[in-house]
Amino acid sequence: MALKIRDDRQNRALLGLSDEKFKELVIAFETTYEKAQTEAYQAGFAAGTRQRAPGGGQKGKLPTAEDKLTFILYYWKRYPTMDDLAERFDMVRSSACDWVHKLTPYLSLTLIELEVLPARSFENPEELRKACEGIERIIIDATEREIQRPTDYEEQKDYYSGKQKDHTVKNTVISSPDKVVLFVGATFSGRNHDYKVLKTEFPPDQPWFKDINLTLDLGYQGILKDYEGDGIDIPFKKPAKSDDNPDPQLTAVQQLYNYAVGKARIYVEQAIGGVKKFNILVHDFRNRKVNFIDDAIGISAGLWNFSIA
């Protein structure tokens, strides 16, 4: 393995985890990987399509579980091009690409086993309430990621975000006050408004937020009208300027309320910032494999949750 990590600081910089957390994840990853390999071997042997046992044959560039985990975490954290990744790990470009897509499902399975991967959907309000059990308040926000500009003009219009002035994708994020990411929604094009995305994933005809304390920002104007729930906190919007009111201002009470809501919302911003310490979510997304753009944010959120657990 070409990558040599000297200390905890370099571990965080190159892999996104402390040395202690990395060692803990290696053990879980090795167990998951070996279990999956054994099951694949047994299925292949029973079907008569495989004879060689797991671990047999020539050793590759990533012979150990630690090598494999280092490789995939380095990709997630640094998001190099395949040429850079191949050079760093002393392999050809095509092999680097193959390893990325081979190891990603094992990383996801490991995070599922560790119970740190956030939910990606809820079938009904009861599932949401169960996920929020023991949590005093949840905070909802949306996050955008830049992508390469699509070549098709209609796609360009669909993915163009007026807010970011770039082509983006968007996900809804729900976190707890201790910055754990509880939910990452599906990936939508950047043209979609935050509140439209929320209503798509949590249809207003069901009591999603009844009996739940919820905090949001002004991007979700209309939620008090569309959804049931007495615990929904959203800031007051400054009145529109008019001839009768040329200098609109919030009242002192409204300003204090907005300040309290802002203090409560900071935790979801910090959680999103923690998830985005993995550069695969920061640089223009280049991968073309179906669903990989969606996997990227889910796995990054799982790694963040694991890092603070």
pLDDT digits (tens, 9 = 90+) for 83-130: 999 999 999 999 999 999 999 999 999 999 999 999 999 999 999 999
Percent of the chain at pLDDT > 70 equals 95
List all residues 6 or more positions away from 14 whose beta carbon is below 8 Å from its beta carbon.
Answer: 3, 5, 74, 77, 78
* DSSP string of 121-149, one letter each residue: --SSHHHHHHHTTT-S-EEEEEEEEEBPP
Angle at 9 between CA 7 and CA 13, to 5 degrees: 115
Domain range summary for the chain, segments of one domain joined by +: 8-113, 125-308
pLDDT in tens, 218-275: 999 999 999 999 999 999 999 888 888 888 899 999 999 999 999 999 999 999 999 9
**What predicted TM-score, i.e. pTM, was given to this entire model?**
0.92
CB 207 within 8 A of CB 228: yes
Classified as helix, coil or strand, 186 is coil
Rounded Cα–Cα distance for residues 136 and 177 (Å): 8
Q: How far is the CA of 108 from the CAs of 25, 49, 173, 293, in angstroms? A: 12, 27, 18, 14
Residue 164's pLDDT is: 87
Could you tell me the pLDDT band of residue 48, with boundaries at 50, 70 and 90?
confident
For residue 277, is pLDDT > 60? yes
pLDDT band (50, 70, 90) for residue 46: confident
Token reading at 255 = 């300003």
Q: Which tops the pLDDT comparison, 302 or 53?
A: 302
pLDDT of residue 56: 64
Supply the mean pLDDT for the chain: 93
**CA proximity to 113, closest of 36, 45, 183:** 36
| Separation CA 155–CA 136 (nearest Å) | 41
Contact 268, 291 (CB under 8 A): no
| pLDDT average, residue stretch 207-225 | 95
